[in-house]
Chains A and B, each alone.
Chain A
Amino acid sequence: MIAEIGHFATLLALSLALLQGSLPIWGAAKGDLRIMNSARTFAVGQFLFVAFAFACLIALYVRSDFSVLNVWENSHSAKPLLYKVTGAWGNHEGSMLLWVLILAFFGALVALFGDNLPPRLRANSLAVQGWISIAFLLFILITSNPFARLFPVPLDGQDLNPILQDISLAIHPPLLYAGYVGFSMAFSFAIAALIEGKIDAAWARWVRPWTLLAWMFLTAGISMGSWWAYYELGWGGWWFWDPVENASFMPWLAGTALLHSALVMERRDALKVWTILLAILTFSLSLLGTFLVRSGVLTSVHAFAVDAARGVFILVIMGIFVGGALTLFAWRAPRLRQGGLFAPISREGALVLNNLFLATATAAVFIGTLYPLLLEALTGEKISVGAPFFNKTFGPLMVPLLILVPFGPMLAWKRGDLLAVAQRLAVVAAFALIVAGAVYWSLNGGPVLAALGVGLAVWLIAGAVFEILWRVKFMRAPFAEAFRRAGGLPRAAWGTMLAHAGVGVVLLGIVGVTSWKTEVITTVAPGETLTVAGSELTFEGISSREGPNYSEEVAQFTVRREGEVVAILEPAKRLYTVRRQPTTEAGIKSFIGGDLYLVLGEATGDGSYIIRIYDNPLVTLIWIGTYIMVLGGMVSLSDRRLRVGAPRKRAAKPVSAPAPAE
């Protein structure tokens, strides 16, 4: 019964989405406020029904109702409860429903908190949200219905792919989708502005927090996916330039550009048309990401949907939305009022430069990801682009961008003084070079590029901190004065500092792990002791254990440093009973200097085992850095000045708490 209720709720949600997609836009054309405002109720109603349907799906998983095809394919009665719940979106059908749920949730937020938006803009953008909902609800109902039934009812399920039975992979898709779908808000606002033919001041105010929110989710989602790949896949790597990773990285790059251009638009009323285009492109790349992952074009862990009909359907959705949006842009954009002008040397100028680099980098990733697919589709020839391509294209684009990052926030709006900024930053540059030199000498002339990489990372971190110190007149004014200024500093400035410093921390991690990684593959007998990068590992032996839905062989290693036991590592090989699928569980110990990473291999037959040992210096900084970036986003988002402020006189009326993301 629950399955049928969920199915019906999805259909009712579609009906409401149809109303949401049609009525408001007609109302906006006719200038009828009542019809326009109906969008708000429809958006909330649609969200309630999608949420209800999703709750039904989770209930079916928790109850292990194998009369539902999707539950039978992806669950098992013996699966731990947590993975029964998360398994609801660990598969194609469920994850598409999650996608629509997040979309509807964001739509409902706009509807509930959008009191201060101009009525036409609100109605039109909610209608565009409605279109996206219609497209994806149809996709779900026609090709991927999670409530499809199965008869006769099997005794037990087929279990969830074991490598997806993992807590960070349970959180990864919702974060990633919140990122993708968050960009749909910027897209809807852009389309609404194009339909209306004007960009309101409220437009920029609204687009930036939405973009920021989406960007934070996407950053956290990508970081989570990378962390998962690192510890679960057992290769010791953290980024593989895999098309699926690129699919989420492209919207991130474009979204980062959008974030910066929206800043210019908000503050200086400039770069309007470019921001609209970026908003369209960012969401188009999100759709592309969804298409690549969901259509089964890519053979990977994620491609649980190997079905031509689905691929064609998403391709059509993408064609309609991307093609339609770009056509609308070409037709209407010339009518938009152009914004103000500014000098090349200014904060705006720096942000334009940032946009140029990020857009080019997006293009590089785009080509590297799609060219092999296109070539294979047209000629059947398989080529592998892989890391070397990206290292040669993406890397060189990033280096100048990162060198320029500390300059941006130091430049004044409208007209900046590059020379003065350079003089101020000279002290930071000197510091970075000294650190680079120290690294070079302390490693007895290790790789020069690595030392320079460390220097660049230090330049970013110190540059970000220096900007704050400069603004509060640290050392140039009495300490109390500096302290008072720091208190009064807008939170957006702190956010910028954290986000930019976070990039530096990530870079430090990347340089560390790529330059100084140690990898040892050897056989080890029980009782034997190995020494790798200052750690002594004693192989104590192998034992068997039974988990709830797997059995595993666990190797025990005692790790000593300078004679002291610092860790017991237990790399394991698991066999998930239902799917007869083996997985590796790496044994990882994070030290301050880096990770010790053990992977258990095959038995050699004489009691010894093959074991792979990695020493990954500084690798944890990659993920710590991304979370510093997300933290920066949060701080910036909490800045009250981002909100569309309610006028003081209306404060008595408790209507508008117009923070889009609290």
Chain B
Amino acid sequence: MSLWIMFALMAASVGIIVLVALRPARATEQTINADLLVYSDQLATLEADLESGQIETGEAETAKIEISRRLLAAGKFSAGNSDIGTGIFSGPTFPVFLATSAVLLSLGVYALNGNPDFAGVPFAGRQSESPQDQSIPALLAQIEEHLAQAPEDGQGWELIAPIYLRLGRFNEAVRAFANAGRILGANAPRLAGLGVALVGVNGGTIIQEARQALVQAVNLDPTLVRPRLLLIIALEQDGNLLEAREAWQSLLRESAEDAPWREAVTTRLAALEERIEGAPGPDQSQIDAAGQMSPEDRQAMVTRMVGQLAARLEADGGPLSDWMRLVRSYMVLQQEDEARAALANARAQYVRDEVAMEQIAATARSLSLEE
């Protein structure tokens, strides 16, 4: 039923109510004298009390006299009530006028404030929309609602966990992977997911808990590449550069020629080797000199060094760690636009390296540079 039909029915009901309200009076109604009713009722009650022995005879007599006195007074008074009659505006015009005014007034105010074209949006109706129309948040909300009611549904957690991970909602991803593992039992993908999510929570740093999950995942299924990549990065992070180099090399040896991660690993390995041979950086004399500089000079020196780094990276590319150092440096220098540009360049270089992309994203987040 359309809204306007409903409105018309409601307005018609109001019209009927007004017409019924102002129907011609029944003649009998005006003859009632309410006061007399009350007093005669009181007398009846008194009689009943006397019969059941609730009241002494003497007491009843005085009460009776008093009620009778009031009854007489009321009878006198009711003479003054006889002015009640009917006859004002007795024709049909008056009620019709009132009914029309009432409806028009309501419609007028509604016209000012109402939203007749705005259909209702019940929650259930939105869920039945076809899946391709549904945005990821809507799907998520649907699964979340389901899980809130059935928190022990492992399949649900399993379904939602990778979505969280992709959306960068790492805390929720950790909880989802952990729940899936707890309910369905640990397996390699769940442990790997948990590890990756934990890395995400910590902004790219691979904490002990993440490391344990990743190691377990690799033990269960050595063919999983992503946890291995992260574990090697963990080695780099700890400063075990030689071990890391060996691990990269063995990963390359085991990988097929057309493995998608090959190029990224190669780049990474090159960067690592450069680091092992002596990362380019200020030598002791430069550091000493910096200590004696005025703040302006030091700022200038930092800017110059950052500029050199940027020029080198933009010309030849370079290891991810250098890109990230560049981004951080720009942030220290409060050059946010440059930092964003550097991030974009880094992304362009590592666009096919999933692990690196994640680290870039984590760095961006940690510096509040997220788009």
**B residues near A1, Cβ cutoff 8 Å:** 3, 6, 119-120
Q: What DSSP secondary structure best describes chain B's contact surface? A: helix
A548 and B149 in contact (CB under 8 A), knowing A45-B17, A65-B121, A644-B34? yes
Q: Which of A34, A120, A145 contacts B25 (CB 8 A)?
A: A34
Among A11, A33, A42, A549, contact of B21 (Cβ-Cβ < 8 Å) = A42
Given A12-B14, A41-B21, A2:B120 Cβ within 8 A: yes
Stretch at the interface among A111-119, A291-299, A369-377: A111-119
Chain B: minimal CB distance from A556 (Å): 19
Beyond A4-B115, A27-B88, A645-B44, 17 additional contacts (C-beta under 8 Å) are A1-B6, A1-B119, A3-B115, A4-B116, A11-B105, A15-B14, A33-B25, A33-B86, A45-B17, A63-B120, A65-B122, A65-B123, A67-B120, A117-B34, A149-B118, A201-B38, A644-B37
Bound CA span A32–B22, Å: 11
Which of chain A's residues has its CB closest to B40's CB? A647
Answer yes or no: B141 CB below 8 A from chain A CBs. yes
A579 interface contact, C-beta 8 A: no
* A244 at interface by CB-CB < 8 Å: no
Contact of B35 among A37, A44, A66, A200 (CB under 8 A): A200
A393 to chain B, nearest CB (A): 40
Question: Which residues 569-592 in A have Cβ within 8 Å of B in the complex?
Answer: 577
Known contacts A37-B25, A64-B122, A118 near B34 by CB under 8 Å: yes
| A338 and B120 alpha carbons, distance in the complex (Å) | 59
Query: Looking at the complex, which one of B24, B45, B109 makes contact with A34 (CB distance below 8 Å)?
Result: B24
Within 8 A of B (CB), among A31-68: 31-42, 44-45, 48-49, 60, 63-67
Query: Assuming A63-B124, A119-B30, is B37 touching A32 (CB within 8 A)?
Result: no
A residues 276-305 with Cβ under 8 Å of B? none
A5 within 8 A of B: yes
* Residue in B25, B114, B118 whose beta carbon sits within 8 Å of that of A8 in the complex: B114
**Chain A interface main SS type:** helix
Inter-subunit contact B86/A67 (CB<8 Å) = no
Are B106 and A8 neighbours in the complex by a CB distance under 8 Å?
yes
List 15 A–B pairs whose Cβ atoms lie within 8 Å, in order of A's numbering.
Answer: A1-B119, A14-B106, A30-B88, A32-B86, A33-B85, A36-B84, A38-B21, A48-B13, A65-B121, A67-B118, A119-B84, A200-B34, A202-B35, A645-B38, A645-B40
Contact A202 B38 (CB under 8 A): yes
How far, in whole Å, are A41 and B41 apart by their CA atoms in the complex? Answer: 28
B13-40 to A contact mask, C-beta < 8 Å, 1/0: 1100110111111000110111101111
Known A1-B119, A33-B85; contact A201-B148, beta-carbon cutoff 8 A: no
How many residues from B make CB contacts under 8 Å with A?
A: 70
Assess whether B265 is interfacial by the CB under 8 Å rule: no
Q: Is B54 engaged at the interface, CB distance under 8 Å to the other chain?
A: yes
Is B151 part of the contact surface with A, judged by Cβ < 8 Å? yes
A417 and B49 CA atoms in complex are apart in Å by 22
Chain A 542-557: CB-based contact to B (< 8 A → 1; otherwise 0): 0000101100000000
B 305-332 to A, binary, CB cutoff 8 A, 1 in contact else 0:
0000000000000000000000000000
Instruction: Verify if B87 is at the interface (C-beta below 8 Å from A).
Output: yes
Q: Interface readout for B100-143 with A: 1 if CB under 8 Å, 0 if not?
A: 01110110011001111011111110000000000001100100
Neighbour of A16 across the interface among B17, B124, B141, CB < 8 A: B17
Please, how many angstroms separate the alpha-carbon atoms of A654 and B253 in the complex?
Answer: 101
**Could you list which residues of chain B lie within 8 angstroms of chain A, going by C-beta atoms?**
3, 6-7, 10-11, 13-14, 17-18, 20-25, 29-30, 32-35, 37-41, 44-45, 49, 52-54, 70, 74, 81, 83-90, 98, 101-103, 105-106, 109-110, 113-116, 118-124, 137-138, 141, 144-145, 148-149, 151
**Mask of A623-662 contacts with B, CB within 8 angstroms, 1/0:** 0000000000000000001001111000000000000000
Q: Once bound together, how far apart are the Cα atoms of A321 and B86, in whole Å?
A: 31
| Closest-CB distance, A409 to chain B (whole angstroms) | 14
Docked Cα-Cα span, A48 to B141, in Å, equals 38
Which chain A residue has the least Cβ–Cβ distance from B62? Answer: A414
B41 vs chain A, min Cβ distance (A): 3
Partner of B14 from A16, A645, A646 at Cβ < 8 Å: A16
Given A116-B37, A201-B70, A269-B70, residue A16 in contact with residue B115 (CB < 8 A): no
Contacts of B74 on A, CB cut-off 8 Å? 201
Q: How far is the CA of A31 from the CA of B82 in the complex (A)?
A: 9
Which residues of chain A have C-beta atoms less than 8 A from B37's C-beta?
116, 202, 644-647
> What's the least CB distance linking B8 to chain A, in Å?
11
Is A424 engaged at the interface, CB distance under 8 Å to the other chain?
no
Shortest CB distance B18–A (Å): 7
